[in-house]
Copies of this chain bind each other. A is one copy, B any other.
Amino acid sequence: MQKRVPITGDSTLCSTCMLGHVCLPVGMPAEDIDKLSTLVRERVRVEKGRTLYTLGDELDAVYGVRSGSIKTQIERAEGQLQITGFHLPGELVGMDGMLEGHHMSTAVALEDTEMCVIRLADLDRIASHVPALQPQFRRFMSKEIIRSQHMLLTVGSLRSEQRLAAFLLNLSQRLAMLGYSANEFVLRMSREDLGNYLGLTLETVSRLFSRFAREDMIRINQREVEILDMPRLKKLIGQDS
């Protein structure tokens, strides 16, 4: 567990945060968003490779990615490890773990990352005079359910090339939402992480990248990706155009 640092000044309220259009406040009425000023009172910096929280840690808050990126993973006693998500700015992590009050997963920074701390006590306190907040938070939990169910479909019923294509398209789209290029980006995770996430081996992922590049669908240089033929990638997973 990393050290939480109080936010100084009010330069960084939810109401003025650049991520308002993707993060927790999205879609809420402006007057309600103004009332979220004490929702995030602390931040946590996590260096690349370090953990934000670990399986079993006590949980009194969930976290929003402010900058950087995070992977979350679950483990089984036998050492099996499954990466459950790569999280970009505006996305919340830690919502599993609310069942027991202990984290059910581990969150590791893929690069130097800053997280907003959303204490559950603050959430309920503020919700008592901002009625829209509870439904809004449920929406975010619902989104997390949908996300993992969608991954289940991906891993359970798509072939390897389709899984990788789906991953690239999903990442591209999320980066575009954040104002980054949809066609050119840097993967923050290793081939091994990616393989684990998609239910493949790192060799298969590597081979697929090479093949996609050979077929001029992408250009790839280590972790730099350029998507050259978005329509064909989409066609690969059955989406038209």
Contact = CB atoms under 8 A, between A and B. Distances in A.
A154 to B, nearest CB: 9
20 contacts: A76-B153, A77-B238, A84-B152, A95-B141, A96-B142, A96-B145, A96-B146, A98-B142, A99-B139, A99-B140, A99-B143, A105-B149, A127-B134, A138-B138, A141-B142, A144-B145, A151-B152, A152-B152, A152-B155, A155-B156
Nearest to A59: B142
Interface of A: 74, 76-78, 80-82, 84, 95-99, 104-105, 120, 124, 127, 131, 134-135, 137-146, 148-153, 155-158, 196, 198-199, 237-239
A124 B134 contact: yes
B238 A78 contact: yes
**Top 5 closest A-B pairs, CB basis?**
A78-B238, A156-B199, A98-B142, A82-B153, A148-B148
A50 to B, nearest CB: 22
- Give how many copies assemble into the complex: 2
A228 B187 CA distance: 48
Given A134-B124, A134-B134, A142-B99, A74 B148 contact: no
A239 B77 contact: yes
Contacts of A78: 237-239
Contact of A153 (B74, B124, B135, B238): B74
A139 B158 CA distance: 31
B150 A74 contact: yes
A166 to B, nearest CB: 10
Given A98-B142, A145-B148, 13 more contacts: A77-B238, A98-B138, A98-B141, A99-B140, A124-B134, A138-B138, A141-B145, A148-B148, A148-B149, A148-B152, A151-B152, A155-B155, A156-B196
A231 to B, nearest CB: 15
A145 B239 CA distance: 27
B238 A146 contact: no
A73 to B, nearest CB: 9
Contacts of A81: 157
